[in-house]
Amino acid sequence: MRYDVIVVGAGLGGLTCAALLTRKGLKVLVLEKDHHPGGTSYVFQRGAFKFPMGPLSFSYPGYVSSLLSSLGLKEPLEFRRNHFQLIAGDLDLVYSVAPKELKQELARKFPREADGLEAFFQELQQAMKLIYDIYLWHPDYLLEKLSPLQEKVVQTEYSESRKTRILSWSQTFSGDVLSKYLNNKLLVNFLGSIGTGEPVMSFLTLAMMWNIMAVEGIWYPSWGIHGISDRLAEIIRAGGSELWLGMPVKRIVVENGQARGVVTADDGFIGADWIVSNADSKTTFLELMEPAAVMGEFLEKVGNTPYTGSELCVYLGVEANRIDLSRMRATHLFYCARPGQAEENNPGTDGLNLESKEIEVCRWTDNEPDHAPPGYLGLILRVGFDYDHFARFRTGEKKRTPEYRAYKTALALKLVRVVETIIPGLAGATALMEVATPLTYRDWGHRYQGSIAGWSWRADWTRNFGRKLLVETPVRNLLLAGIYAASELFMGGVPTAMRTGELAASLILENKI
């Protein structure tokens, strides 16, 4: 059997692409390594609790719902806004609010910085105004033939001056803009990282981040993120395409510079006119293909580009009436006990200073009340960690040294104790605990070194590829879809995965029809 398109991976990027092509009458085969669709956009069960494998909520809900209704999904889809709070040093604020409100609140807390805040917010808001719909009109994001709506947007809103300013912001280091106006380190770090880290982004990426946080908002869909994955899988199957679960692709076959098909784990060859890889670009080009199939320069860039780091994630089932949640005023709380103190990453939990790290606490059952039994809550603690910290415990795929379990459990308990400062009673109220590390995200999430996304936050890497989207590749008839098909943040994880899936589908349709 030969297919029009083979999609490698059934994450949201692969599923979106396959569902759109199926609705247009193409015969698509989706091959997924795992035993469920959705990749990291899915849930798992532990005892009486359910927890998310990756995304907790996402941005651009308007884009996501219009894409889903274009696929014929008519069931009502509602979104719940998720809010974000930071507790760090003297700072305690909910910051997912309109820029004007945030500026006023910060000026109250830092009266000596009021003028600087005014000037900084003016520059930030100018940038936010120009980029909010960037994916609809900027040449870096427009790969396909424009729809009549896009033509209209480009004609009325696109201008050389707008493009020039965006280029200049993408080359401006956000730390330089902040230090022009502000002195207080905690404030500079907060505005420059939306947390407690030092500013590392370009001013453009910072404006995109603040636009997502303060204007677009971050939301949770009534179907659940896993529910979106399930519905996309249904569209694929109902439309006559195929989704094979538990079927890893071993190799993408390229002949004379053109993708011809794939070899599956059982050594079968399956041919197709197009291949869309939903695996990350390092896996796609460095592991699934013969090196000679791709130009050396491109391969080098793929190999050298850093991805974001990974994380330690502690899933907790807790007795609701035994903890004090009064300091938590939003679904997501970021907490850093000792901001500004150097992080220690020495192996061994005793030497590890978790107080200096920024810890996210998510009240998961705010979004999914049915994911815990009555009287209990599902809480998630996440903290950034490098893969290298855990690498010594991995002896093979899904294989660990005997010390691994005790180490990750001790680390998780240490994290719970740090969080107990702001959620009293947490350790005693915990009825269930599950721990994921960068090794989990590598072996179960199939993420390169457990990474969360395929870009670096650092300003110095932003133009490595000379363009933002990597959907088109140097191999003919091979496209990428998914979060790793963006070399820089632009819409946030879930919408980026779906948007790149949509772009891959439209590039195929333009060539086919």
Ligand X SMILES: Cc1cc2nc3c(=O)[nH]c(=O)nc-3n(C[C@H](O)[C@H](O)[C@H](O)COP(=O)(O)OP(=O)(O)OC[C@H]3O[C@@H](n4cnc5c(N)ncnc54)[C@H](O)[C@@H]3O)c2cc1C
By the criterion CB under 6 A, which residues form the site for ligand X? 8-14, 31-34, 39-41, 54-58, 248-249, 278-279, 283, 288, 311, 441, 445-447, 452-453, 482-483, 492-494, 497
The secondary structure of the chain in percent helix, strand, coil, rounded to multiples of 5, reads 45, 20, 35
> Which residue's CB is nearer to ligand X, number 123 or number 230?
230
Task: Provide the 10 A C-beta neighbour count for residue 109.
Answer: 16
Tokens read off for 307 = 């991805």
> Which residue's CB is nearer to ligand X, number 30 or number 191?
30
- C-beta of 163: minimal distance to ligand X in Å? 27
Task: Kindly give, in sequence order, each residue whose CB lies less than 8 Å from that of residue 388, ignoring residues fewer than 6 positions away.
Answer: none
Task: Kindly give, in sequence order, each residue whose CB lies less than 8 Å from that of residue 361, ignoring residues fewer than 6 positions away.
Answer: 328, 332, 333, 334, 335, 379, 380, 381, 419, 422, 423
- C-beta of 235: minimal distance to ligand X in Å? 16
- C-beta of 463: minimal distance to ligand X in Å? 22
- C-beta of 148: minimal distance to ligand X in Å? 28
> Which residue's CB is nearer to ligand X, number 176 or number 287?
287
> Which residue's CB is nearer to ligand X, number 175 or number 482?
482
> Which residue's CB is nearer to ligand X, number 199 or number 493?
493
Answer for the pair 507, 473: CB distance below 8 angstroms, yes or no. Answer: no
Measured at CB, which residue is nearest to ligand X? 11
> Which residue's CB is nearer to ligand X, number 40 or number 96?
40
- C-beta of 13: minimal distance to ligand X in Å? 3
- C-beta of 382: minimal distance to ligand X in Å? 7
H/E stretch holding 80 reads strand 79-82
> Which residue's CB is nearer to ligand X, number 251 or number 329?
251
Q: Distance between CA atoms of 42 and 228, rounded to whole angstroms? A: 9
Beta pairing, strands 269-277 & 3-8: parallel
Tokens read off for 149 = 């709506």
* DSSP states along 345-394: --SSSTT--GGGS-EEEEEHHHH-GGGS-TTEEEEEEEEEE-HHHHHTTE
> Which residue's CB is nearer to ligand X, number 39 or number 339?
39
Q: Distance between CA atoms of 251 and 288, rounded to whole angstroms? A: 5
Answer for the pair 353, 417: CB distance below 8 angstroms, yes or no. Answer: no
> Which residue's CB is nearer to ligand X, number 311 or number 368?
311
Tokens read off for 401 = 């040294």
- C-beta of 477: minimal distance to ligand X in Å? 18
> Which residue's CB is nearer to ligand X, number 124 or number 243?
243
- C-beta of 27: minimal distance to ligand X in Å? 19
* DSSP states along 228-295: HHHHHHHHHHHTT-EEESS--EEEEEEETTEEEEEEETTS-EEEEEEEEE-S-HHIIIIISS-GGGS-
- C-beta of 225: minimal distance to ligand X in Å? 8
User: How far does CA 395 lie from the centroid of its chain?
Assistant: 27
- C-beta of 46: minimal distance to ligand X in Å? 16
Q: At what angle do helices 12-23 and 225-238 cross, to 10 degrees?
A: 30
The residue among 154, 422, 175, 466 whose CA lies nearest residue 298 is 466
> Which residue's CB is nearer to ligand X, number 152 or number 250?
250
- C-beta of 216: minimal distance to ligand X in Å? 12
